[in-house]
Amino acid sequence: MSDAAFGAVEGNSQSAAFKAQGRIAALVRQRAEAKAWSEAASEKEGIAFTPLSPAIGAEVSGVHLSEPLDEARKAVLYDGLLEHKVLFFRDQDITTDQHIAFARRFGTLEKHPFAAVKEGYPEVIPITHDAENPGRENAWHSDVTWRKEPSLGSILRLLEVPETGGDTLFADMYAAYDGLSDEVKEKIEGRVAIHDFAVFRERLKKRGASEAEIEAFNREYPRVEHPIVRTHPDTGRRGLYVNVAFTEAIRDMDDLEAQPLLRHLYGQAAIPEYQCRFRWRRNSVAFWDNRCTQHYAAADYWPRRRVAERVTIEGDAPY
């Protein structure tokens, strides 16, 4: 490549980088303005957020999910989600229809291609664990990162709760990124990781799915690439976006180098200072932002019974 051509490429790259930085800076300014507005609006609407930890999570009071959610109260809740990353609601004795109606105020609901759904409600995933079906969501992950456009967030409602155990832990992936060494940050800057639904593929095989059926899923949901460090579309903040459940490799990096690096990145979610832990009660609801969090459902209650229902809100392509 000639010096002139190289200079043009370099100039284009710098221009794209400056544009991206400008977009992120604008988002951060908008976020600061929105936060100031939200504090006033929250007081006006009678909605309060009580943090569970310095890093992540808040319990919400002044809202019942059975009631219609107008634009003002929706805006306060969404801003609370951006600020705290996961919101918890207690004593929400609601119907499945009300659960869906609340979630739809924040976007279109997805239909999970691999999970069983509640009869009559294709958007609702029932999650029941007991003596015959032990809990298995005990790995740090963000939901459906194997999609080209992974989810915005998920809303989980607990219908039956074991007397002890069955808590869910949530991790702040902004903090996980911020806590990395400069050396690691430099190594992952601009890198993309490969995500796949391998865990569901194995379950399909165990259930007796044919090769043709599995290949059809492979075509519909091919492996996807997402940035290792994702920029949140509403806050402009950067967070780690790889997880042990669905991330398989780093593009253009040998596995001998990539896998130890990925294990290091996965491990950041397990740092207690980046977490909160939620103790469920019957009719508790959690609403988390999949773009900047990971979660881990402790499977410490076997053989006791735990019953939940989840809906998930469609998102957009990470950048």
The active-site residue, picked from 143, 172, 196, 289, is 143
The active-site residue, picked from 129, 195, 230, 310, is 310
DSSP 261: H
Per-residue DSSP letters for 47-88?
A: -EEEESSSSS-EEEES--TTS---HHHHHHHHHHHHHHSEEE
**What is the token pair recorded at 43?**
């007081």
- Using CA atoms, how far apart are residues 99 and 246, in angstroms rounded to an integer? 27
Pick left, alpha or beta for residue 141 (phi over 0 → left; psi -120 to 50 → alpha; otherwise beta). Answer: beta
Among 157, 90, 99, residue whose Cα is nearest residue 123: 99
Cβ-based neighbour number of residue 195 at 10 Å? 26
Active site residue 295: yes
- Using CA atoms, how far apart are residues 233 and 34, in angstroms rounded to an integer? 14
- C-alpha distances (whole Å) from 167 to each of 70, 129, 138, 281, 301 are 31, 13, 10, 10, 9
* 9 phi/psi in degrees, rounded to 5: -60, -45
Active site residue 129: no
Among 95, 161, 97, residue whose Cα is nearest residue 123: 97
The active-site residue, picked from 141, 226, 291, 306, is 141
Which H or E element spans position 11? helix 3-45
- Using CA atoms, how far apart are residues 278 and 93, in angstroms rounded to an integer? 18
- Using CA atoms, how far apart are residues 127 and 125, in angstroms rounded to an integer? 6
Contacts of 151 (CB under 8 A, 6+ apart): 110, 143, 144, 290, 312, 313, 314, 315
Active site residue 99: no
Active site residue 112: no
Q: Which residues belong to the active site?
A: 141, 143, 295, 310
